């Protein structure tokens, strides 16, 4: 099937177990695993293959699994949220959920014996967790205010759903794309502020117009300016290397986006390097081949040539965080962004969010890549009452200027890669800094527990990446500090500026940076 994985000799451990049994095969074995229990299960099934159905063994909390859903464009209904709340509720103190940096949700405390029931419940409300981990395409991100924003150029919701349906066979699982060389991220943005961080995805579509005359498009389209997307490829973060996506020099019509995703993924699946997992993301294939050959191979799969990229894209706004109350394009309606501290939710919060969406809105709930929630379709007449709801005291529409932009990965509480504790520490640090300083603008601080960069420190104003350091003969939790990440218009990645600050010494260092570089003032 592939250039590099044609024989099973010399394959790395992951390629070997994938060749022996496809990850998706576990879908038919859930009842068996539930009956066996996690301790008696085959270890490869338990630790790896279960991730093909979104179930993650947590070595930090053995027997209490994490489930990663798929939330196309970050959108769910209140009934879906209700089901997710019921699932975590049964685990008492072990049960909670995290909104992720890919506009998605993960559930915690899951026991393997409950999986058959959980999957049945998911089915009743149209939820799926399939192919959300390991060598699969992750949750596909789109504009969190798609269809609500008067200034958007394209409503991404339908396209994101179509891509997910193609990749996952409508949530049932699709063996065509269940053995990629590595994980793969896709984002589509139709707004002006790049709310999805297009530049850090393996494949991204950003809005761009072509002049009808210039590209011989006049025959198919009557308008002068034709809407489509410029295509970016190869963006990724890993412990070894981080790259922003580069232009493929291709412009595609919305109706071709699904086919382009398929073509790129087929090329990646069949030719992507598989020998070394540290060198398997799409950019490594582009390096190996050169962009021209990669582009030609994708065209070959697509069965037609790309038009060259439009000269400029339409990302010309600073990035919005969507926290607060905003008018929708439809008169009389509003969307309200609630700040969810480090994305952490408990069952009672989830029931309450579902209720608020139902009572005040249209029952719809949305997630952002900043791990927050947007409730759309709240009418002018209900808005004032909505704003008096007690939940908004904790999930504020007007948090402090550091708090509102805080992002944090899972960290040591549940993740065995973590070198430091993140979420609780991040919250405590922000509180202390807001007590000591005043701010005139938000400062985006992102915490990530290890160099895998799930908390995206490279896109932050100040990124904090977990590490270990030595001080007075002791090993301590520490951070490397990143700065210079720019999001929205002219997005680019930040770089490491200070290394190995022990977490116990971090507060004065951050205080200094906030004063010198972001105009903060001591109170």
Report long-range pairs for 241-247 (Cβ below 8 Å, ≥24 apart): 241/283, 242/453, 242/458, 242/493, 243/283, 244/199, 244/200, 244/491, 244/492, 244/493, 245/198, 245/199, 245/200, 245/201, 245/202, 245/203, 245/204, 246/286, 246/291, 247/309
Whole-angstrom Cα distance, residue 146 to residue 77? 15
Whole-angstrom Cα distance, residue 83 to residue 350? 9
195, interface contact from ligand SF4, ligand SRM, none, CB < 5-8 Å by kind: none
Sole window of 81-89, 92-100, 182-190, 452-460 interacting with ligand SF4 (rule: CB under 6 A): 452-460
Sole window of 119-127, 305-313, 390-398, 406-414 interacting with ligand SRM (rule: CB under 6 A): 406-414
Contact 221, 233 (CB under 8 A): no
131 binds ligand SRM (CB under 6 A): no
Nearest residue to ligand SRM, by Cβ distance, number only:
238
Q: How far is the CB of 46 from ligand SRM (least distance, A)?
A: 13
Q: What are the b/e assignments for 127-144, b being 16+ CB within 10 Å? A: bbbbbbbbbbbbbbbbbb
List the interface residues with ligand SRM, window 22-61 (CB under 6 A).
Answer: 56, 58
337 binds ligand SF4 (CB under 6 A): no
Residue 301 falls in the annotated catalytic set: no
Q: How far is the CB of 471 from ligand SRM (least distance, A)?
A: 27
Contact 236, 242 (CB under 8 A): yes
Sole window of 88-96, 252-260, 407-415, 490-498 interacting with ligand SF4 (rule: CB under 6 A): 407-415
Residue 454 falls in the annotated catalytic set: yes
Q: Pick from 44, 196, 285, 450: which binds ligand SF4 (CB under 6 A)?
A: 450
Residue 182 falls in the annotated catalytic set: yes
Residue 423 falls in the annotated catalytic set: no
Sole window of 117-125, 144-152, 330-338, 412-420 interacting with ligand SF4 (rule: CB under 6 A): 412-420
Whole-angstrom Cα distance, residue 402 to residue 397? 14
Alpha-carbon torsion, ordered 228, 289, 271, 261, to 10 deg = -10
418 binds ligand SF4 (CB under 6 A): yes
Beta partners for residue 228, in sequence order: 208
417 binds ligand SF4 (CB under 6 A): yes
Whole-angstrom Cα distance, residue 186 to residue 257? 11
Residue 455 falls in the annotated catalytic set: yes
Q: How far is the CB of 182 from ligand SRM (least distance, A)?
A: 6
CA-wise closest residue to 152 among 7, 352, 316, 5? 316
Q: How far is the CB of 278 from ligand SRM (least distance, A)?
A: 7
> Which of the following is catalytic: 234, 454, 466, 503?
454
> Which of the following is catalytic: 23, 234, 411, 455?
455
Q: Pick from 54, 411, 442, 502: which binds ligand SF4 (CB under 6 A)?
A: 411
295, interface contact from ligand SRM, ligand SF4, none, CB < 5-8 Å by kind: none
3-state secondary structure of 240: coil
Whole-angstrom Cα distance, residue 351 to residue 32? 31
Beta partners for residue 184, in sequence order: 137
> Which of the following is catalytic: 90, 183, 382, 486?
183
Q: How far is the CB of 383 from ligand SRM (least distance, A)?
A: 30
Element (H, E) at 479: strand 474-483
Q: Pick from 82, 449, 494, 502: which binds ligand SF4 (CB under 6 A)?
A: 449
Whole-angstrom Cα distance, residue 402 to residue 375? 22
Whole-angstrom Cα distance, residue 459 to residue 484? 8
List the interface residues with ligand SRM, window 213-242 (CB under 6 A).
Answer: 236-239
Residue 449 falls in the annotated catalytic set: yes
The encoded tokens of residue 235 equal 């963006």
101 binds ligand SRM (CB under 6 A): yes
Sole window of 94-102, 218-226, 251-259, 394-402 interacting with ligand SRM (rule: CB under 6 A): 94-102
456, interface contact from ligand SF4, ligand SRM, none, CB < 5-8 Å by kind: ligand SRM
Contact 482, 455 (CB under 8 A): no
Residue showing tokens 């926290």: 323
454 binds ligand SF4 (CB under 6 A): yes
137 binds ligand SF4 (CB under 6 A): no
> Which of the following is catalytic: 64, 68, 157, 192?
68
452 binds ligand SF4 (CB under 6 A): yes
The two beta strands, 105-110 and 65-68, are antiparallel
CA-wise closest residue to 193 among 150, 152, 159, 135? 152
CA R_g for the chain: 23
> Which of the following is catalytic: 51, 182, 269, 404?
182
469 binds ligand SRM (CB under 6 A): no
The two beta strands, 445-448 and 462-471, are parallel
Whole-angstrom Cα distance, residue 234 to residue 340? 31
228, interface contact from ligand SRM, ligand SF4, none, CB < 5-8 Å by kind: none
Binding site for ligand SRM (CB under 6 A): 56, 58, 66, 68, 98, 100-102, 104, 106, 138-139, 182-183, 185, 200, 236-239, 281, 409-410, 414-417, 452-454, 456
Binding site for ligand SF4 (CB under 6 A): 409-411, 415, 417-418, 448-450, 452-455
Tell me the catalytic residues. Answer: 68, 182-183, 449, 454-455
């Amino acid at each position: 099937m592939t250039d590099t994985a044609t024989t099973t000799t010399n394959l790395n451990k992951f390629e070997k177990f994938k060749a022996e049994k496809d990850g998706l095969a576990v879908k038919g074995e859930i009842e068996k695993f539930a009956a066996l229990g996690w301790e008696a299960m085959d270890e490869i099934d338990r630790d790896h293959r279960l991730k093909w159905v979104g179930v993650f063994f947590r070595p930090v909390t053995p027997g209490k699994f994490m489930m990663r859903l798929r939330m196309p464009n970050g959108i769910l209904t209140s009934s879906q949220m209700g089901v997710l709340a019921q699932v975590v509720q049964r685990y008492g103190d072990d049960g909670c959920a995290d909104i992720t940096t890919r506009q998605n949700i993960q559930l915690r405390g899951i026991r393997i014996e409950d999986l058959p029931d959980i999957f049945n419940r998911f089915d009743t409300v149209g939820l799926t967790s399939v192919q959300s981990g390991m060598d699969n395409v992750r949750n596909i991100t789109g504009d969190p205010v798609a269809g609500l924003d008067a200034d958007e150029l394209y409503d991404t919701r339908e396209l994101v759903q179509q891509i997910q349906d193609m990749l996952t066979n409508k949530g049932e699982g699709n063996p065509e794309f269940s053995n990629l060389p590595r994980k793969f991220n896709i984002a589509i943005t139709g707004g002006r502020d790049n709310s999805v961080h297009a530049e850090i995805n393996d494949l991204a579509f950003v809005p761009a117009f072509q002049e009808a005359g210039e590209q011989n498009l006049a025959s198919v389209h009557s308008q002068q300016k034709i809407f489509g997307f410029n295509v970016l490829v190869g963006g990724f973060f890993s412990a070894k290397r981080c790259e922003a996506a580069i232009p493929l020099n291709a412009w595609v019509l919305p109706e071709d986006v699904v086919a382009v995703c398929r073509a790129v993924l087929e090329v990646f699946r069949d030719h992507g390097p598989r020998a070394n997992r540290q060198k398997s993301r799409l950019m490594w294939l582009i390096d190996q081949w050169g962009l021209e050959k990669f582009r030609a191979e994708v065209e070959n799969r697509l069965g037609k040539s790309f038009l060259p990229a439009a000269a400029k894209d339409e990302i010309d706004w600073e990035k919005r965080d969507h926290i607060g109350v905003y008018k929708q394009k439809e008169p009389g309606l509003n969307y309200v962004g609630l700040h969810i501290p480090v994305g952490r939710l408990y069952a009672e919060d989830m029931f309450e969010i579902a209720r608020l969406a139902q009572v005040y809105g249209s029952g719809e709930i949305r997630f952002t890549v900043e791990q927050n929630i947007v409730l759309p379709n709240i009418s002018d007449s209900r808005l004032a009452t909505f704003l008096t709801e007690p939940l908004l005291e904790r999930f504020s529409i007007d948090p402090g200027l550091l708090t509102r932009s805080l992002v944090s990965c899972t960290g040591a509480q549940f993740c065995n890669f973590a070198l430091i504790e993140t979420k609780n520490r991040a919250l405590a640090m922000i509180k202390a800094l807001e007590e000591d300083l005043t701010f005139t603008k938000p400062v985006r601080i992102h915490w990530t527990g290890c160099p895998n960069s799930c908390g995206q420190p490279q896109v932050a104003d100040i990124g904090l990446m977990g590490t270990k350091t030595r001080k007075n003969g002791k090993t301590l939790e520490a951070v490397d500090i990143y700065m210079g990440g720019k999001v929205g218009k002219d997005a680019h990645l930040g770089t490491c500026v200070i290394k190995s600050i022990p977490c116990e010494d971090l507060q004065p260092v951050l205080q200094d940076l906030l004063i010198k570089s972001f105009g903060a003032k001591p109170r």
